[in-house]
Amino acid sequence: MNEKKSSKRERSFIYKPFIVPTITIAQNNKITIEQAYQLLSYSTDEVTFESESGTVQVIGEALTITLLYEEQMVMEGVIREVRFLSS
Amino acid sequence: MKRIQGKQIVGHVSLRIDGKHPEFFLQRCVQAKIPMWNIKKISNTTYIIHVYRGHRSRVQRLGEQLDYDVTVLKEMGLIALIKKLFQRRELFVATILAILFLFVLSNIVWDVKIQGVSTELEEKINEQLVSNNIYRGSFLFQIDTVNEIENNILNDIPELLYISLERRGTVYVAEAIEKTIVEKDSPLQNQHLIAAKNGVIQKMFIKKGIPVVQLNDVVRAGDILVSGTYEKNDENDEDTEKKERTIISADGEVYATTWYEIEVSSSLLLHEEKVSGEKQEKLHVKIDKLTVPLWGFHHKQYDESVKLYSEQPVYVFKWKLPFTLLYETVYNKDTLTHIRTIEEAREMAIEQAKKQLLHKLDQNAKIEKYYVLHETVESGKVKLYLYVTVLENIAKGKAITD
C-alpha cells in the first residue's frame, strides 16, 4: 500500500508541470491551446474555456474552432483580446 | 492539424447538433477522443461540426445518451463519392466500360504506313512488320520495342540500308532507305607495294607492277616488294642508253610468313555463371520512381538470380499516360566453379592467344605454327610465352614521289 501511495505521489509530482496549458497566438488570427482545457462557451466573438491555471477568455471577431480534440484546440478569426479571468 | 489531414480520403461528415448548451456536448466528444473541426455556431442551441465518417455513429450514440439531436447534413470525401457512384450502378458500370473501351481502342494499331521504298520492298517490309505483330487491328501490348523490330527487319531484308520505325499514337510509320549499288571507281594512285612487316615471302599475286622480290626472300618492313615504275629501252636508238620511265600503279597481294611473340595466361579456377531455363515473370506499374507490383506476387525465391526489365509506356491515343508497365523477368542463375587441369588451362590459353592474334590481323591471315617457348604455373595460373608464325598479306601501297 505504501509503495502504491508513494508511486502515485511521484507520478503526480512529475506529471503536473506538463499539464500546464500552452497557449500559442500566431499574429492575431490563430490561437492554439494545448494540454488540458474544458470548453465552457463558444460564440463567434467570444470563446471561454477552463484550464488548469484558471478560466481563459478569447475575445475577437468571426471566431471559428478549426480543430477540437483532446488536449488541443485551434481557433481562427480576428483575435482582439485574451483574458485570464482567475488563477 | 495532423489529426484531420486524411479527411478527404477517409471521408468526413458534417453534423448538426441541437440541444441545450452544445458546448457541453462538444466537451463530451473531446473526452471521448473524437476529433472535430470547422465548428460553427448557428444559434445558442445549434452547432454544426465536422467529424470523420467513422466517428459519426459514436457521436450519434453520445447524442442519444445526452439528449441531443444529431443530424447528418452531408457526407464528403472519396469513400462517399465511391458510395454514391455505387448507388447509381448503371452509371458506374457504363463509366468503367467506357474507360475500358477507350483504353482498348487506344491500344490498337489503326494504320501502318511505309514510306521511301519501292513497292516490291514495301511488301517485304510489310511482311516483316506483320510477323512482328504490326498490322491493322493488332494490340500494342503484343508488339516488341521499336528498336528490336528495326534490327529484325534490317537483318532479314539485306536490301535495306536504313529503317526508322516510329509510333505516332495508334499509327506506325516506317521510313526506309534502299541500298543502291555504287560502281567502284576509285583509281589507284601511283604507288609501289612495300612490306608492312618483316617476313619471308611465300606467294605473290601481282596484278600490276614489276616484282622486286622472289619467293623465300627475307624482307624487312619498308622494303619495296613490287615496283610501280617501269623502264624500257628505246629500240630505235640502240647506241644511246636512253630509257623511258613509265609509271604504273602497282597492285596485288604478297603473302609472307611473319612471326609474333605472345605472352598469355589462363586461370586454373573457372567461375561459370549459367542461366537455367527456369524463370518467373512479374508485372509492375511504374509511376515516376514508385513501382507497384500488379502480377506475380507469390513466386519462390531463387538462391541466385538475374533480373531483366522491360518498360512499356501506356498510351491513350497519342497521349502518353504518366505511368508505364514494367515487365520483370527473373531467371534462375547457377554459379559453377570448375577446376581445370594444367593441360586444359594450357589449351585454353593457346586458343585465346590465337583468337586475339587473328582478331588483330587481316581476314586472310592464317596461323601456320606455334611454339611454346616458356611455360610456368604460379598463383593458380598457367603462363605461356608463345612464338607464332602467320601467313599473311604484308603488301601495302606507298605513293611514288619522284
Closest B-chain CA to A67: B37
Cell of B277: 531455363
| B 345-374 → A contacts, CB under 8 A | none
Cell of B391: 601467313
Cell of B288: 515516376
Q: Which of B119-123, B217-221, B297-301 has the highest mean pLDDT?
A: B217-221
Q: Flag if A68 and B39 touch (Cβ within 8 Å).
A: yes
What average pLDDT does range B303-325 have in this prediction? 84
pLDDT band at B116 (very low <50, low <70, confident <90, very high): confident
pLDDT on residue B258:
94
Cβ distance B200 to B218 under 8 Å?
A: yes
Cell of B368: 601456320
* Each residue's pLDDT tens digit, A69-87: 888 889 999 999 988 886 5
pLDDT on residue B278:
86
pTM for this predicted structure: 0.41
**Region of residue B288 (phi > 0: left; psi between -120 and 50: alpha; otherwise: beta):** left
Q: B40 CA to chain A: closest CA distance, Å?
A: 6
pLDDT for B1 beyond 80: no
- How many residues does this entry show for chain A? 87
pLDDT on residue B243:
64
- A83: burial class by Cβ within 10 Å (0-12, 13-18, 19+)? exposed
Q: Identify the structural domains of chain A with CATH numbers, from first to last.
A: 22-84 (2.60.40.2000)
pLDDT for B98 beyond 90: yes
Cell of A78: 480576428
**Encoded amino acid at A63, one letter:** L
CB atoms within 10 A of CB B370: 19
What average pLDDT does range B99-109 have in this prediction? 89
More confidently predicted of B239 and B245: B245
Closest B-chain CA to A62: B40
Q: Chain-centre distance of CA B218, in angstroms? A: 51
| B 24-83 → A contacts, CB under 8 A | 26-27, 29-31, 33-41, 47, 49
pLDDT on residue A16:
47
For residue A66, the chain B residues in CB contact (below 8 A) are: 37-39
Q: For all residues of chain B together, what is the average pLDDT?
A: 86
ipTM: 0.74
What average pLDDT does range B308-331 have in this prediction? 85
Cβ distance B330 to B305 under 8 Å?
A: yes
Q: A56 CA to chain B: closest CA distance, Å?
A: 15
pLDDT for B329 beyond 80: yes
Q: Which of B73, B72, B57, B59 is closest to B25 using CA atoms?
A: B59
pLDDT for B326 beyond 50: yes
* Each residue's pLDDT tens digit, A15-43: 444 556 788 998 889 999 887 678 888 88
CA distance A24 to B43: 28
Over pLDDT 90: what percentage of chain B? Answer: 26
Q: B61 CA to chain A: closest CA distance, Å?
A: 18
More confidently predicted of B249 and B392: B392
* Each residue's pLDDT tens digit, B387-396: 999 999 999 8
In the sheet that B269-287 helps form, which strands lie side by side, from edge to edge? B290-295, B269-287, B319-339, B305-316
* Each residue's pLDDT tens digit, B185-233: 566 678 889 999 999 999 999 888 889 899 999 999 999 899 888 777 6
Burial B383-395 (b: 16+ CB within 10 A, else e): bbebebbbbbbbb
**Encoded amino acid at B23, one letter:** E
Cell of B346: 594450357
CB-defined contacts A:B, below 8 A: 49
